[in-house]
Amino acid sequence: MRLFILSVLVAVAACQYTGPLPWNLDRLDQQRLPLDGQYQPFGNEFGGQSIVYMLATGIERTHENFGPAFNRAFLIYDFEGGDGADIDGAGTAFAGVIAGQYTGVASKTNIGIVRVNAHPDPLTLNADFIIEGMMAVLNHYKNLKAANPVGHLRGVAVAPLSVTLDANRLVEIEELTRDMVREGITVVGPVGDAQCWQL
């Protein structure tokens, strides 16, 4: 879980650079200054044994932060029945903070694309799409565990969304969140807005 707490912290400084290595990554693995220009916080896996489900606006797989062949991403759900492509940029930016090859806290993490909205505006969010996306995550993770009960990927659901919904729908979302946690998925919600979406 520490890995994904760090991913939330790094969002605060996602646009600060002082050299070839992003400042935020350089600072994360050090308790004392000066910075050493390196980033290796906990071993060499860099999240390779985990899958992060991004409930957001999708991901632009061709973005330079993910390389020419972004083969760590899996489409889990798209509210429009598409391929999970991000037309807004918000989901791509947040995925870059978590798993980008240049800016990512865990640059080898697998990404589950869960596209629940085209834009990060809470007024345009549809509760049905959020609930369907959460159910898709839950079912996907259950299938992962069933296929490999011992060596399955660790699951984390990240939803960088501000939600304004009817109270009854929020109850459904809370119940689904509890189901996800019981299944072993760490659920991370928004704690603020980095206000920096250009990578």
For residue 75, the SS3 value is strand
Q: Rounded to 5, what percent of the chain is helix, strand, coil? A: 35, 15, 50
Domains in the chain, ordered, with CATH?
2-13+21-36+46-188 (3.40.50.200)
Residues facing residue 50 across a β-bridge: 154
Stretch 22-51: mean pLDDT, rounded? Answer: 78
Which of 35-49, 109-123, 124-138 has maximum average pLDDT?
124-138
Q: Are 57 and 118 a contacting pair, CB within 8 Å?
A: yes
Distant-in-sequence, close-in-space partners of 98: CB < 8 Å, separation ≥ 6:
4, 7, 52, 54, 104, 105, 106, 109, 111, 158
pLDDT, one tens digit per residue, over 60-82 is: 988 888 877 788 899 999 999 99
Supply the pTM of this predicted model. Answer: 0.81
103 has pLDDT over 70: yes
Q: How far is CA 76 from the centre of its chain?
A: 13
Beta strands (DSSP E) in 49-164 are: 50-56, 73-78, 110-115, 154-158
CA gap 163, 176 in Å, rounded: 15
Cβ count near 89 (within 10 Å): 18
